[in-house]
């Protein structure tokens, strides 16, 4: 089974990507490659106005693959994930994450790279990486711009998971709807705000609105990637956190 599916509306104005990993839509390197290939194919579509990303089943994503965070694999996964963030920020249409259930770690980072987040009332967002002895580089680049440094610091440093309504009140989530009504509300939003407009105008408006964020991420994310790979991954605790997770035990920190 493909880890990512995509469907287009009959008029080609919408593209809907669905994450389909059987275990909580965990984001693996293979899934990232599939998403990137799908996004690359969008450029020739001059009618495109909205690209959505959602998770199959009850959850958006549990986050990036923990085994692929091991020291011998993370140098491949992390830059790949960051290229996916750049792809989303360069998508020639408005982008939106449609979130149900858990949206954690790398899944949250994927949603943060979208222009809008539409959430069900059961959605929970969090960045639990610090509990594994690491941190989320893409979120460290994106979240402070989107909700402010104080809120971003609290999310990144504590790893606390918070409900969609709190992120809506922080200005990150565009709207929250009952899970059974979320799809219809997204349809109404599209019909009201994008469907009547020129796709060319929408494409350029999205690029203009993102410009400051894109420039910030372009300058900041490579530094965060180097901090992660060159400094953090040399510590005992970064490797210990991942190994403890895979061993299903509590980590034994040495603070170095």
Query: Domains of the chain: which residue ranges?
Result: 4-193
Crossing angle of helices 74-89 and 199-226, rounded to 10°: 150
Strand, helix or coil for residue 218: helix
Which DSSP string corresponds to 59-111? Answer: -SB--B-SGGGSTTTHHHHHHHHHHHHHHHHT-SSEEEEEE-SEEETHHHHHH
User: Mean pLDDT over residues 26-50, rounded?
Assistant: 96
CATH number of 4-193: 3.90.226.10
- Report d(CA 75, CA 64) in Å as an integer: 14
In the numeric block, the tokens 């549990």 are attached to: 62
Q: Name the band, by pLDDT with cuts 50, 70 and 90, for residue 231.
A: very high
Q: Name the band, by pLDDT with cuts 50, 70 and 90, for residue 1.
A: low
123 token code pair: 């959605």
| Residue range 207-223, pLDDT digits in tens | 999 999 999 999 999 99
Asked if residues 56 and 62 have their Cβ atoms less than 8 Å apart, the reply is no
126: which residues sit within 8 A by CB, 6+ positions away? 102, 103, 104, 105, 108, 155, 159, 160, 161, 162
| Residue range 61-100, pLDDT digits in tens | 999 999 999 999 999 999 999 999 999 999 999 999 999 9
**Closest by Cα among 172, 203, 177 to 189:** 177
Q: pTM for this structure?
A: 0.97
């Amino acid at each position: 089974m493909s880890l990512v599916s995509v469907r287009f509306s009959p008029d080609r104005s919408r593209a809907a990507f669905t994450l389909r990993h059987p275990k909580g839509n965990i984001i693996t390197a293979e899934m990232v490659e599939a998403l990137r290939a799908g996004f690359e194919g969008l450029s020739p579509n001059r009618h495109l106005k909205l690209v959505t990303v959602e998770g199959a089943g009850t959850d958006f994503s549990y986050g990036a693959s923990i085994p692929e965070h091991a020291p011998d694999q993370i140098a491949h996964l992390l830059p790949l994930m960051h290229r996916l963030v750049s792809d989303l920020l360069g998508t020639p249409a408005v982008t939106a994450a449609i979130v149900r259930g858990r949206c954690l770690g790398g899944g949250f980072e994927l949603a943060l790279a979208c222009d809008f987040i539409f959430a069900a009332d059961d959605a929970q967002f969090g960045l639990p990486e610090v509990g594994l002895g690491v941190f989320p580089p893409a979120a460290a680049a994106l979240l402070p711009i989107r909700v402010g440094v104080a809120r971003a610091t609290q999310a990144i440093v504590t790893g606390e998971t918070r409900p969609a309504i709190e992120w809506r009140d922080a200005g990150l989530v565009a709207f929250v709807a009952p899970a059974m009504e979320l799809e219809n509300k997204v349809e109404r939003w599209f019909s009201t705000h994008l469907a009547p407009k020129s796709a060319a105008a929408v494409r350029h408006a999205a690029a203009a609105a993102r410009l400051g964020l894109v420039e910030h991420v372009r300058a900041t994310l490579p530094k965060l990637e180097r901090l992660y790979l060159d400094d953090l991954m040399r510590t005992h605790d970064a490797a210990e956190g991942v190994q403890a997770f895979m061993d299903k035990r509590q980590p034994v920190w040495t603070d170095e």
